[in-house]
Chain A
């Protein structure tokens, strides 16, 4: 185990799995999250248009991989804590705070969870996008971009070679479309559409790409 791919053995028999390709990439104006849309129970595709990009706050989102139940539950708890934070301190939480909460939950319950998450958000104070990767054991890594899920193993080299800092919005979307397209192509448990969330100072924007849009790039 390299700690980043998902341990499918960990799941209970019949548990719904996000055998997944997810990524988040910082760029010039903020950050973009991307994911495939396949949810499987063994060989059966339980949902082919899943939304693995989950809102924690308006300016902080996360990509979920691993057990669907576990990641939904953890995201809900963090969302609750961030709402409470906003009420208590009368200000929006930092991306780092969200990542720290998520890390604590995954680390302290690592024996019971299979959750690999990427937290990404727009830092309003510094006007910058931020990406934190939280792999299976519950460690926390701040990165310029992050990939995770079973499909990510096939695109480590591609992403490493093609990622550049401070890309434009279009360049970044293109980079992510190519990366996820390859991940989906080679990973049996990734598929469906590519979803993206663009987080900038102007708020958020959702994008969707169908197989005919990304399969033959």
Chain B
């Protein structure tokens, strides 16, 4: 770390002579070791998946949810400092309420992306604050009857405040494996977004999380899956129901070569359907 000791990394809002902002770069470091998080678009919605490392055997399986809902039609997950994410989601909820009150309809996902990125960017400007230590993946679909366009949208927001729209994206520790896998999926000859169902996307996301976990095998983890689709959840963001979840996990395990009898501790975790 060449920056250490130069003094240019001690505060926000100070550039180094070569034009970098070290505090923001350090925030990205917090993300790099966070839990693997994946988002994928499908024909009528988006799917989220989070690898939740079991840090403590005393934690209740299926509780301590990481994926959150910003508005009824927008799901959100992040890797990095979890409390930072909780705070950002709260802000997102305020923005959603505010939009509803002024314009009389739910906030489009793209409008939410602009508002959240402005908020995050502001935290790179002032001495009295530190940047957000999270990369946030959020998305959803707004139905035409609610003033939307029935088109799913997916974004990732970084600590520096930049926010891009994606077909599929991953962040956290296993991002490299996961992103390579998403690219392989999306660029394959037979792949077509207009036919990829939400259920298929759930299967893909589960498989990718399991695959990305291979590099971190010694730790137990719990998979969390949620979706927001027109056909499956009527445009609402919800956790996937138990049957879909179990099937996706089973297929993911066999895809990465984990036999069902493999005693890795995942099978006793279960996510109750909402």
Contact = CB atoms under 8 A, between A and B. Distances in A.
Given A94-B147, A96-B147, A97-B147, A89 B104 contact: no
A93 interface: yes
B111 A104 contact: no
Nearest to A100: B104
Interface in B57-116: 101-105, 108, 110-111
A96 B111 contact: no
A80 interface: no
A181 B110 CA distance: 48
A81 B144 CA distance: 22
B147 A100 contact: no
Interface in A81-114: 81, 85, 88-89, 93-94, 96-97, 99-101, 103-104
Contacts of A93: 103
Interface residues of B, number: 10
Contacts of B144: 125
A97 B111 contact: no
A101 B111 contact: no
A88 B147 CA distance: 15
A135 to B, nearest CB: 17
Contacts of A89: 108, 110-111
A101 B102 contact: yes
Contacts of B102: 81, 100-101, 104
Contact of B101 (A94, A96, A104, A125): A104
Interface string A146-186: 00000000000000000000000000000000000000000
B108 A96 contact: no
B104 A97 contact: yes
A93 B104 CA distance: 11
Contacts of A88: 111
A81 B101 CA distance: 14
Interface string A169-212: 00000000000000000000000000000000000000000000
Interface string A19-45: 000000000000000000000000000
Nearest to B103: A97
A100 B108 CA distance: 17
Contacts of B101: 100, 104
A85 B99 CA distance: 11
A99 B111 contact: no
Given A89-B111, A125-B144, A99 B104 contact: yes
Nearest to A90: B110
A125 B144 CA distance: 8
Most buried by A among B104, B108, B111: B104
Contacts of A100: 101-105
A39 B111 CA distance: 42
A89 B115 CA distance: 12
- Closest 5 A-B residue pairs measured CB to CB? A100-B104, A97-B103, A96-B104, A97-B104, A94-B147
Interface of B: 101-105, 108, 110-111, 144, 147
Interface of A: 81, 85, 88-89, 93-94, 96-97, 99-101, 103-104, 125
24 contacts: A85-B103, A88-B111, A89-B110, A89-B111, A93-B103, A94-B104, A94-B105, A96-B104, A96-B105, A96-B147, A97-B103, A97-B147, A99-B104, A100-B101, A100-B102, A100-B104, A100-B105, A101-B102, A101-B103, A101-B104, A103-B104, A104-B101, A104-B102, A125-B144
